[in-house]
Amino acid sequence: MWLALMLATPSAAQDITLTSRDGAVELTGTLLGFDGEFYRIETTYGELTVDGSGVLCDGPACPSLEGYVARLSISGAATMAELLLPALVEGFALREGYGVRRETLDDRHFEYLILDRETGRDLGRFLFRATSSDEGFADLLANEADIVMSLREIRREEALLAREAGLGDLRARGRFRVLALDALVPVVAGTLPLDRIPTADLARVFAGQIDNWSALGGPDAPISLHLRNADSGLAQAAVEKLLRPLGSELSDKIERHDSDIALALAVSSDPFGLGLASAAETGPARRLGLSGACGFALRATRHTVKTEDYPLTTPMFLYVPARRLPRLAREFLFYTQSAPAQLVIRRAGFVDLAPEAIPVAAQGDRFVNAINQAGSEIKLEELQRMAGVLGKMTRLSTTFRFEAGSTRLDAQSRANVGQLASRLEDGSYDGRGLVFVGFSDGEGPARANQAISQSRADAVRQAVMIAAETADLAQVELTTEAFGEALPMACDDGAWGRQVNRRVEVWLR
């Protein structure tokens, strides 16, 4: 991390003594870091953080208070490091009136210098290491990174090691944020005569259970598979999102690629190739839609990714340990959640988190599908009630979904709680009404599913109200509705479909 750069010098490893200005208190220990305001030292009492304004520092490792340069080390997914984070750093510098300069160190490392425009003095140095999600977490645990860029959630064992290392609970609110959204899209060469592929078949193809295009309505030719390298967060997300719900493993006959663009180029030149690519980097390869017998075809658009209606949505995470960062770094992290940053994210080719209104007229396919797929337990009166309630409102792109086999919100949805709470706090919906609308899968009796979807809607509403600590909730009406299994997005004949159907939508009145 930034302190690791300081510890690289022999003097930084020496003890320092911090003495209160009245001389009454004295602490001696090894300097672990200084953020321009606070010292962090290892003492006989453990690791302590001390306000620099109240003490005097003595010792060869004492940092300069006048020429302080904020340092931040960010490590992890190359997909995020190559375009998204640089765009945000440059946007941050422009908005705050700083100068900015990028310096390439080698093929994996680069640094952004944040400068005072008037004097040219260094204010901060943000060091990036573009590798993989796995290596980002390893760097954090080795005290070589402040922040991790990841295309997957932190694993249980990584979270336990982080807690043991004093980094806090990285699964807790405030320790991670979803910065933007991407999606896994099936891609083929432009010459292949297919427009879509059933999601279940896509999983079977990558599991090696289907190996010829003729089984998918294509030519009689073997399917060659393409995916990112195994330690890539994108490849790990493919397993997590596509194969794990079906209990399958990846085929061992997959050609691996070191970058998103390399994968896209390889698929575009392979007439019988099929790849899973980042929606932000499909290059000349052609995208396929996802389809299913019980749902309409879905493509990775901004709206379908934001709502997670598109099933292979992949959140892009920043993990921040429970340590004080320099003020400039904290300002940058605050900026990444702001409205101007959402525009930067969109222009960089990724999907931002800002809630968007989706008119009922733009959702005709969903309502037609609800009618076509209605089982014997869903009466016409219930479909009419749903159309009557929702037809008078506008859907927000903010949607809440749940982890497989759990009542816990998934990572994107936990981030959505904070996003929606922020909008309530800034008064965006004052004078309006927000309705949390629950839906369920179709397993079990319709009456029980109605009750389950109602309890989920109530739980999400409560979570948002708790998170909106400074909002004047008297200015906005927050209510719930539930329609059980009445509006399916996918078939209920597999774990994947059931997970997609269990959700809470937000509608604006």
- The CATH code of the domain that includes 201 is 3.40.190.10
Residue 314 falls inside a structural domain? no
Is 313 domain-assigned? no
- Whether residue 387 is contained in a domain is answered as yes
- Domain end point (choices 35, 58, 81): 58
Please check whether residues 221 and 341 belong to one and the same domain: no
pLDDT of residue 233: 82
Is residue 65 in some structural domain?
no
| Residue of 441, 296, 306 whose CA lies nearest to 368 | 296
Together in a domain, 74 and 36: no
157: burial class by Cβ within 10 Å (0-12, 13-18, 19+)?
exposed
pLDDT digits (tens, 9 = 90+) for 239-259: 888 888 777 888 989 999 988
Domain stops at, among 38, 58, 78:
58
In a domain, 488, yes or no: yes
Residue 3 has a pLDDT of: 38
Residue ranges of the chain with per-residue pLDDT less than 50: 1-13
Cβ density class 466-504: b for 16+ within 10 Å, e for less = ebbeebeeeebebebbbbbbbbbbbbbebebbbbbbbbb
159 shares its domain with 113: yes
pLDDT of residue 232: 83
pLDDT at residue 7, as a whole number: 34
Residue 63 lies in a domain: no
Both 362 and 502 in a single domain?
Answer: yes
Residues 368 and 403 in one domain: yes
Number of domains in the chain: 4
- Using the Cα atoms of residue 485, residue 490, residue 493 and residue 494 in order, give the sign of their dihedral: negative
Same domain, 376 and 337: no
Asked if 120 and 99 count as a contact pair (C-beta separation under 8 A), the reply is yes
How many Cβ atoms are within 10 Å of 426's Cβ, its own excluded?
12
| Residues 283, 188 share a domain | yes
pLDDT tens for residues 18-76? Answer: 999 888 889 999 888 787 788 888 888 888 888 888 899 998 888 877 778 888 999 99
Q: Is residue 394 in some structural domain?
A: yes
Question: What is the three-class DSSP state of 485?
Answer: coil
- Angle at 314 (CA atoms; ends 129, 464), nearest 5 degrees: 110
DSSP H or E run through 23: none
Question: Strand 286-287 relative to strand 176-188: parallel, antiparallel, unpaired?
Answer: antiparallel
Chain Cα centroid distance, residue 122: 31
CATH value at residue 372: 3.30.1330.60
- The beta strand positions in 80-121, using DSSP E, are 99-104, 109-115
pTM of the model: 0.78
Is residue 209 a part of any domain in this protein? yes
The verdict on 151 and 203 lying in the same domain is: no
What pLDDT sits at residue 419?
Answer: 85
Here the CATH number for the domain that contains residue 19 is: 2.30.30.100
Do 116 and 233 belong to one domain? no
Q: Are residues 41 and 133 in the same domain?
A: no
Both 50 and 81 in one domain: the answer is: no
Residue 336: domain span: 70-175+320-347
Q: Are residues 235 and 170 in the same domain?
A: no
